[in-house]
Amino acid sequence: MIDNLLSYDFAWKPYSTSQLLATDKTHIFRISVDNHFQKIKKELAEVLSEQEQEKASRMFIQKDKERYVVSKYCLRTILALCLNKTPHEVEFILHEHKKPTVKDIEFNISHTGDYILIAVSPKAVGIDLEYLNNEFDFKSILDITFSKQEIDFIGNKNTNPTNFYTIWTRKEALLKASGEGVSNNLHLIDCLSEYVERNKAVFKLRTFLIEGSYVASIATSLDQKELQFWNWI
């Protein structure tokens, strides 16, 4: 079953900001923090809002600060290209569950370790990225987080943790796409299927590996059949 859930082998194409983006398709961008922080740090004042710059200045851990500013820089740049605005002009609105949105386009973002994933789409979209931590004791949270079928799929602590992170990221991506955010009933949301219904909408779930060290899942609407995968260069 794990082969089925991880059957998506995407071709990541190089992306530069000179390329136009088809706004009727879902785009996923993969960004390496280490590769881009030094390149963009002189431009941050022109791209980030004053609130974002202030938040970054209060961060004590350098890696967290770099990840934060790179994610905001790239997100604003991508949305600006889609909306035909400058990055600084992009305005975010907080909706229910404090989910940030912009007018006329959907987006979602996830980051951990050295990687950031950003998804933009004309329809609701959710994405989640997790580092494959072989030391994490996931057995203690199985009963409150997963259904019986999911627990059988994940196996015990001695099983490859890829199984655990596969289901975990699928749940997170789905709840982000549906706009629900954190749920107290994760065990009631079965994400073993390719198609899952939430809030009267059906989402398609796709899961993939990045460099063998990260697991990521994306939830999209059914009409978003052709996804574009980009490496930010």
Element (H, E) at 152: helix 148-154
Q: What percent of the chain has pLDDT over 90?
A: 67
The structural domain count of the chain equals: 1
Query: How many CA atoms lie less than 13 Å away from 114 in the CB half-sphere?
Result: 7
Can you give the CATH number for the domain in which 226 is found? 3.90.470.20
Element (H, E) at 69: helix 62-83
DSSP 8-state class, residue 88: G
Residue found by looking up tokens 């859930």 in the block? 5
pLDDT reading at 63 higher than 60? yes
Query: Reading across the β-sheet that carries 125-131, which strands appear in turn?
Result: 125-131, 214-221, 201-210, 195-198
pLDDT digits 0-9 by tens, 104-151: 899 999 999 999 999 999 999 999 999 998 888 888 888 888 999 999
Q: What is the pLDDT of residue 138?
A: 85
Q: Residue 1 — pLDDT band, cuts 50, 70, 90?
A: very low
**Average pLDDT of the residues in 75-91:** 94
Q: Note down the domain range covering 97.
A: 2-232
Report the C-alpha gap between 68 and 56 in whole angstroms: 7
pLDDT digits 0-9 by tens, 157-183: 666 789 999 999 999 999 999 988 766
Long-range contacts of 157-161 (CB under 8 A, 24+ apart): 160/2, 161/132, 161/133, 161/134, 161/136
pLDDT reading at 32 higher than 90? yes
Q: What is the pLDDT of residue 233?
A: 85
